[in-house]
Amino acid sequence: ESLGLKDMTTVLIVGGGDGMGGIIAQAQAVGEKLQSLAASTNENYQMVVVCGNNKAAQTTLSPPQTNWGADIEVNVQGFVNNMDEYMRASDILITKAGPGTIAEASICGLPCILSSFLPGQEEGNVPYVEENGFGCYRGSVDGMAETVQEWLASPSKLEQMRDNALVAARPDATLDIARELADMVYVRKEELKKGGGANSKKETQTKTKSIQYGMGPF
């Protein structure tokens, strides 16, 4: 309620801090699909569009320039500082394959449709999301809209992707790292008590460097 949203199935479209990634076309395609679904199923749907700093997109997608009709609720925002709250209020996220957004979405248990990625820097995030079972890549707006329809038609699949996202988030990673470091400190102290040499120290340092926790290839 604090976000001004209705309590209904919600698709969140995020354009990044600068509102990049064809967000107008994405919102129009998904909005039309949700309108069609609402009319044919009598279900209530909501779309939230976060345009970032793209004020032109925000204006274009807001009334009176765009009339979304009475079948769906549409909430268009500019730059927001509480993205996690919008994510927790949503059921599906459409976003570019940015590491911060994907990490935050997985923590919130939010299935993702990845709309684009930067070659090299973000490319590895696509298979990470797909292989962990909480999203997919769709390079066309029609593909995004069709995927939204497919997921909404299968609540059990959507629920499984939510669970997969939470598993991928590794919420205990920080505690695991702390425990591992504490164990190594204890082992090192015991080695020093027993007169352990330089080789033991080197092995401990190597083990420290080998610890890898986190979200994947971000």
| pLDDT tens, residue order, the chain (218 aa) | 689 899 999 999 998 655 556 999 999 999 999 999 999 998 999 999 999 999 999 999 998 899 898 889 999 999 999 999 999 999 999 999 998 999 999 999 999 999 998 888 888 899 999 999 999 999 999 999 999 999 999 999 999 999 999 999 765 555 556 667 777 887 878 788 887 555 555 555 555 544 444 445 55
Task: Give CA–CA dist 61/49, Å, rounded.
Answer: 9
57 close to 15: Cβ distance less than 8 angstroms: yes
Give pTM, 2 decimals. 0.77
In this structure, the number of other CB atoms found within 10 A of the CB of residue 96 comes to 20
- Do the beta carbons of residue 45 and residue 72 sit within 8 Å? yes
Cα–Cα distance measured from residue 99 to residue 215, given in angstroms and rounded to the nearest whole number: 9
Cβ pair 94, 34 in contact under 8 A: no
The whole-angstrom separation of Cα 68 and Cα 61 is: 9
